[in-house]
Chain A
């Protein structure tokens, strides 16, 4: 015979009203006490009927489709149950293992190939970046005493992670050259625009930089007004035709 306090706890347990620490103790007791289990089952049975007390409302028809679509994408492990015939089990396991091994081998092979490709690509990027940096260093040392400024622009945006931009600018001549590589298209009705940011002044447009389908651009430029002291160069995405001041997103900056 279950004492009355425990019977009351069974009611709270079914209704999920027992505090969490008491649930653990109750679960242990439940596992060991068939009479208590029977009581909980009776109480659950009664609670199950209470669902019908709610005013009847149909779920929206689209919900069924969503749920059916969900379960089709779920991976489910169907456990072995004792009542089934056992003879096929070792064969099924062996077949499963063989299939899994083949799949893993194929997948591993794909990963290996991808890994080699990524490594090669990464090496190629590193080499190109290194050669560009070497060239910049050379140009810098060669023109150390001249008015030529060379800048390598970079971006923190994921889209422009691999983009390379180099600006060579001769302040005395007030003209320069910009070279872009691995640039995505600026987008419909958009253009890339180069800006010179003078020390203590507003950005000065250095013109549009049209990027080809190959992601490359090489453009000579002359700023719209003379700039003697430069803080930085920047490239932004502007409405087609460009802007007098940067209005769009600045995608690369450097000095």
Chain B
């Protein structure tokens, strides 16, 4: 989750392994490190602060209970937490059948919510990481960027994404896969 890559990854993995052993202090630290990024993602997905808080609560509860299933050889701790949280969010959106309405909402307006500047641990790193990912996304083709952002932050089906982009289904599938791999390649090249 940061530019000094491996060290931060190591710290997160270490914290998560302590969480797996039932260490509440480690959990609190992990919350401080991950919650701004995860909350921002969920808020963008739901467009609703109360719902985003519920999702985050569910997700951290899952992280606490299932930390022992995290395998540091497979992914970074933050990536694992993102997948857990995003899955919780999608489950909730699907259950409530709210995504059709949410899809019409614009992205969360930045000025309507409190900014994180200097409130939590690691925020400078978070903002730095945001800039880095944004810059990497700018290097992905616009078609691919659109496809992966639509897929990641919404609960559309791939048919719906194809319809929105007025693009054949097969092309959309390929754009998502290629876009993700390209993004990864660019980010790896940067670090």
Q: Are B115 and A49 in contact (CB under 8 A)?
A: no
Q: Are B57 and A66 in contact (CB under 8 A)?
A: yes
Among B28, B57, B130, the residue within 8 A (CB) of A63 is: B57
Of A50-58, A199-207, A228-236, the stretch lying at the interface with chain B is A50-58
Question: Within the assembled complex, what's the spacing in Å between the Cα atoms of A56 and B176?
Answer: 24
Q: Are A56 and B90 in contact (CB under 8 A)?
A: no
Question: Within the assembled complex, what's the spacing in Å between the Cα atoms of A10 and B184?
Answer: 15
Among B31, B36, B180, B181, the residue within 8 A (CB) of A56 is: B36
The residues of A that contact B20 with a CB separation of less than 8 Å are 78
* Closest residue of B by beta carbon distance from A15: B151
Among B82, B157, B177, the residue within 8 A (CB) of A51 is: B82
Question: Within the assembled complex, what's the spacing in Å between the Cα atoms of A11 and B173?
Answer: 7
Interface of B is mostly: helix
Q: Which 8 A-B pairs have the closest CB atoms?
A: A48-B79, A11-B177, A54-B44, A46-B184, A58-B116, A8-B173, A59-B39, A51-B41
* Closest residue of A by beta carbon distance from B161: A17
A76 shortest CB reach to chain B, Å: 5
Query: Considering the complex, which residues of chain A in the window 175-202 have a beta carbon less than 8 Å from any beta carbon of chain B?
Result: none
Interface bits A232-245 vs B (CB < 8 Å: 1, else 0): 00000000000000
A47 at the interface (CB under 8 A from B): yes
Of A37-45, A93-101, A111-119, A217-225, the stretch lying at the interface with chain B is A37-45
B16 at the interface (CB under 8 A from A): no
Q: Are B24 and A72 in contact (CB under 8 A)?
A: yes
Interface of A is mostly: helix
A81 at the interface (CB under 8 A from B): yes
B125 shortest CB reach to chain A, Å: 10
Query: Considering the complex, which residues of chain A in the window 60-113 have a beta carbon less than 8 Å from any beta carbon of chain B?
Result: 60-61, 63-64, 66-68, 70-72, 74, 76, 78-79, 81
Q: Are A60 and B152 in contact (CB under 8 A)?
A: no
The residues of A that contact B180 with a CB separation of less than 8 Å are 11, 14, 42-43, 46-47
B103 shortest CB reach to chain A, Å: 14
B15 at the interface (CB under 8 A from A): no
A7 at the interface (CB under 8 A from B): yes
Interface bits B44-57 vs A (CB < 8 Å: 1, else 0): 10000100110011
Query: Considering the complex, which residues of chain B in the window 141-157 have a beta carbon less than 8 Å from any beta carbon of chain A?
Result: 148-149, 151-153, 156-157
The residues of A that contact B173 with a CB separation of less than 8 Å are 8-9, 11-12
B110 at the interface (CB under 8 A from A): yes
Q: Are A55 and B148 in contact (CB under 8 A)?
A: no
Q: Are B115 and A57 in contact (CB under 8 A)?
A: yes
The residues of A that contact B123 with a CB separation of less than 8 Å are 56
Q: Are B152 and A78 in contact (CB under 8 A)?
A: no
Q: Are A51 and B68 in contact (CB under 8 A)?
A: no
The residues of B that contact A54 with a CB separation of less than 8 Å are 40-41, 43-44, 108, 153
Q: Are B35 and A59 in contact (CB under 8 A)?
A: yes
Q: Are A41 and B61 in contact (CB under 8 A)?
A: no
The residues of B that contact A4 with a CB separation of less than 8 Å are 174
Question: Within the assembled complex, what's the spacing in Å between the Cα atoms of A4 and B115?
Answer: 42
Q: Are A58 and B184 in contact (CB under 8 A)?
A: no
B38 at the interface (CB under 8 A from A): yes
B98 shortest CB reach to chain A, Å: 16
B129 at the interface (CB under 8 A from A): yes
Question: Within the assembled complex, what's the spacing in Å between the Cα atoms of A57 and B133?
Answer: 17
A16 at the interface (CB under 8 A from B): yes
A18 shortest CB reach to chain B, Å: 8
Q: Are A52 and B133 in contact (CB under 8 A)?
A: yes
Q: Are B127 and A56 in contact (CB under 8 A)?
A: yes
Known: A58-B36, A60-B114, A70-B61. 20 other contacts (CB 8 A): A4-B174, A8-B173, A14-B180, A15-B148, A44-B83, A49-B187, A50-B82, A50-B133, A52-B126, A52-B130, A54-B40, A54-B43, A55-B110, A57-B108, A57-B115, A58-B114, A63-B35, A72-B24, A76-B22, A78-B68
